[in-house]
Amino acid sequence: MARVALVTGGTRGIGAAISVALKNAGYTVAANYAGNDAAAEKFTAETGIPTYKWSVADYDACKTGIARVEADLGPVEVLVNNAGITRDAPFHKMTPEQWHEVIDTNLTGVFNMTHPIWPGMRDRKFGRVIIISSINGQKGQFAQVNYAASKAGDLGITKSLAQEGARFNITANAICPGYIATEMVMAVPDKVRESIIAQIPTGRLGEPEEVARCVVFLAADDAGFINGSTISANGGQFFV
């Protein structure tokens, strides 16, 4: 029986590529999304992957949503924490609301999703938790104090979960994408995008599918000795 994988923010951009790659690798996939019903409906129509709507920033909504997924498909054995938002502003102009919105989704959202699933993984002696962090969680970024803090915090969660889950055959690993050719990046002005590409040694943006292949690798049953690691998928732009 195929393992069940749940991908947050799984209907658009990097998340959509992850959902499709996992399905193609033989997993039974559920894609969570927060608000864009039209995009979710189109995604399901094109891929056959069921979608489930809730905000990862709401713990009770996560518990209820996960219960629905597991009732429909079976216990979640692979969790991909991909959902994330930005609310960019220079620090002196950043509002408490901008801070909390990003932290609540990108950082607390990882707790909200992983915490209800964790006991089942421990009981079954198997689990894969994969967290999509960011290059900007590694190096920081102008006007992204909130985002960089949340993504750096995700790396701390990863390392701690790896230690707690290891004896139960649960791994926790992170992926730090660089600049990827998603709708958000492609929507920036050409000059800005060109200046970004100029900083990437490979001379191009990454593709969502390149991040997705990292996820499929980490999700595999035979990736059990890779734990607490961070994969940097950034075209050589930044090294840790």
Find the helix packing angle between 37-47 and 13-24, rounded to 10°.
20
**Do the bridges between strand 51-53 and strand 4-7 make them parallel or antiparallel, or are there none, so unpaired?**
unpaired
Q: What angle do CA 16, 19, 24 make, to 5 degrees?
A: 125
Q: Tokens for 140?
A: 């920081």
Catalytic residue among 27, 52, 147, 179: 147
Identify the three-state secondary structure at position 175.
Answer: strand
List the end-to-end C-alpha distance of the chain, in Å, as a whole number: 39
147 is known as an active-site residue = yes
What are the start-end ranges of the H helices in the chain?
Answer: 13-24, 37-47, 59-73, 96-102, 108-124, 135-139, 145-165, 183-186, 190-197, 208-219
- Catalytic residues, which ones? 147
